[in-house]
Amino acid sequence: MSEITRAAIVTGGSRGIGRAVCLALAAQGMNVVVNYAGSAAAAEETAALCREKGVEAITVQADVSCEAGAEALFAAATAAFGRVDVLVNNAGITRDGLILRMSEEDFDAVLSTNLKGAFLCAKKAARLMMKQRYGRIVCISSVVGVRGNAGQANYAASKAGVIGLVKSLAKELASRGVTANAVAPGFIDTDMTRALPEAVREGILSQIPQARFGEAADVAHAVAFLSGENAGYITGQVLCVDGGMAM
């Protein structure tokens, strides 16, 4: 492990998968920037849990789907820690609906947060990481971006776009010691999946070879590995954490 204390930014880090990722990176000894859009209390709770692991953690409210928000996030991170070694693009939203009923606004909103946000943050990170000649960019995609899903044309397009973004970043940044990879979760046990009707849950489970929903920690462990010192020869890859759904 390097003697340098690494610093990580996690977008959408206040709860769910984002919180689990923050805690996994903190457990590796990284200082953490918890980005959030809405709930300051949830973000501060995540930061406090990270501090319990002996690292520094700050919270930054910023809308990463716009240039100003991404700029503010990275300015706060560099002011606090002087560097950014890891970027985890996790911020995401859904606006589900069949394509015949999907509005242009709902399509644009999902692409703006999920894909444009990842682009803007990756651009900021790349500039810093190339100078450092070290960096890890991990984007959260989805099994839906690999397989598609009825009623989620906007979400699937955004998550498939993230995969293309990662593969392009990997080729552009490899010579400077910067890796770019995607983690594609399947159906994870979250507030959203718990709220699904029982018949829908059973239908989803029937598509998962392991016959269970994943946990946020399952995704976080994969992200933490790709964000670590030992993943330096892995780039441009999509790691599906989905119980076998995408096989």
User: pLDDT tens across 119-141, in order?
Assistant: 999 999 999 999 999 999 999 99
- Coil, helix or strand for 189? coil
**For residue 85, is it within any domain?**
yes
* 246 inside domain: no
Average pLDDT, the chain: 96
Phi then psi for residue 57, to 5 deg, are: -150, 140
Half-sphere exposure of 242 (CA within 13 A, CB side): 24
Give the range among 173-187, 192-206, 208-222 with minimum mean pLDDT: 192-206
- Whether residue 13 is predicted with pLDDT greater than 90 in this model: the reply is yes
For residue 202, being part of any structural domain is answered with yes
Residue 92 lies in a domain: yes
192 pLDDT more than 80: no
How many angstroms separate the CA atoms of 115 and 105, rounded?
15
**Could you tell me if residue 188 is inside a domain?**
yes
CB 224 within 8 A of CB 27: yes
Lowest mean pLDDT among 86-95, 116-125, 188-197: 188-197
Distance CA 20, CA 112 (A): 24
pLDDT for res 191:
73
- Structural domains in the chain (count): 1
List, edge to edge, every strand of the sheet that includes 86-89.
Answer: 57-61, 31-36, 7-10, 86-89, 135-140, 178-185, 238-241
Tell me the CA end-to-end span of the chain in Å, nearest whole number: 34
CATH number at 173 reads 3.40.50.720
Residue 201 domain-assigned? yes
194 is a domain residue: yes
**Of 36, 134, 155, 233, catalytic:** 155
Please, which pLDDT band fits residue 232 given cuts at 50, 70 and 90?
Answer: very high
Q: What does DSSP assign to residue 57?
A: E
Strands (E), 71-229: 86-89, 135-140, 178-185
- Looking at residue 1, its pLDDT comes to 42
Q: Answer whether residue 1 is part of any domain.
A: no
Count of all residues that appear for the chain in the document: 247
Whether 134 sits among the annotated catalytic residues: the reply is no
Domain residue limits at 89: 7-241
The percentage of residues in the chain with a pLDDT greater than 90, rounded to a whole number, is: 93
